[in-house]
Amino acid sequence: MRSTTRRMAVLVSTAGFLAGSAVLPLTASAAPTECEAGHVETTFSQSSSNKEAVGSVTLTNTSGSTAPVSASVSRTDTSTATVSGSVSVDSIIAPLKAEISASASASQSWSAGATVGPATIPAGQSLIATYGFNTVSFSGSQKTCNSTGQFGPSTSFSGTAPTGTYIDY
């Protein structure tokens, strides 16, 4: 009789445990939302700032005394933002401006007729002025929130963008 009582107690205890767990909600089935559907999250890391030379002009003082000399740049050059990775330039320019360089743009141009100088140069001497674009190199990732409120996989990218123009004398 003793063995029957023990088996009955174990059986009742196991049945109660199973019945109780069937009533409890499963927490894994209700995934929390991480984001609002359609939201795009972009992260950046600036790797360097550079100068992209596009031309030079030589200023020469051919007079017999020290004099101010200037020149006009008569060509148009354009530097355009480039991105490698499967994201569009337009989708990263605004976040790039917010996180790395407020003056980053999709393209920057030197206009015909830009003046270089005046620079004071001794008689018989020359000065070479190099001009071009300031650029920033960057890398980052972008992910989009899907309709279930979860972020999808990240897409990596890298590129460069012009941030202005320069003249070195």
Extents of the domains making up the chain: 33-168
Q: Say whether 90 sits in a helix, a strand or coil.
A: helix
Q: Say whether 67 sits in a helix, a strand or coil.
A: strand
Inter-residue contact 145 to 151 (CB < 8 Å): yes
pTM across the whole model: 0.63
pLDDT of the residue at 29: 45
The span from the CA of 78 to the CA of 161, in Å, is: 11
The whole-angstrom distance between residue 118's C-alpha and the CA centroid of its chain comes to 37
The span from the CA of 106 to the CA of 94, in Å, is: 10
pLDDT of the residue at 31: 57
Inter-residue contact 125 to 60 (CB < 8 Å): yes
Looking at residue 80, its amino acid is: T
Token digits for 50? 């550079």
pLDDT of the residue at 51: 94
In this structure, which CATH number among 3.10.450, 1.10.287, 1.10.10, 2.170.15 belongs to the domain 33-168? 2.170.15
Q: Say whether 92 sits in a helix, a strand or coil.
A: helix
Which is nearest to 55 in space by CA: 69, 73, 38?
73
- Going from the first residue of the chain to its last (169 residues), give the mean pLDDT of each consecutive group of 10, the final group possibly shorter: 44 45 46 83 90 88 90 80 86 83 79 75 91 91 93 92 86
The span from the CA of 52 to the CA of 164, in Å, is: 10
pLDDT of the residue at 112: 55
The span from the CA of 60 to the CA of 123, in Å, is: 9
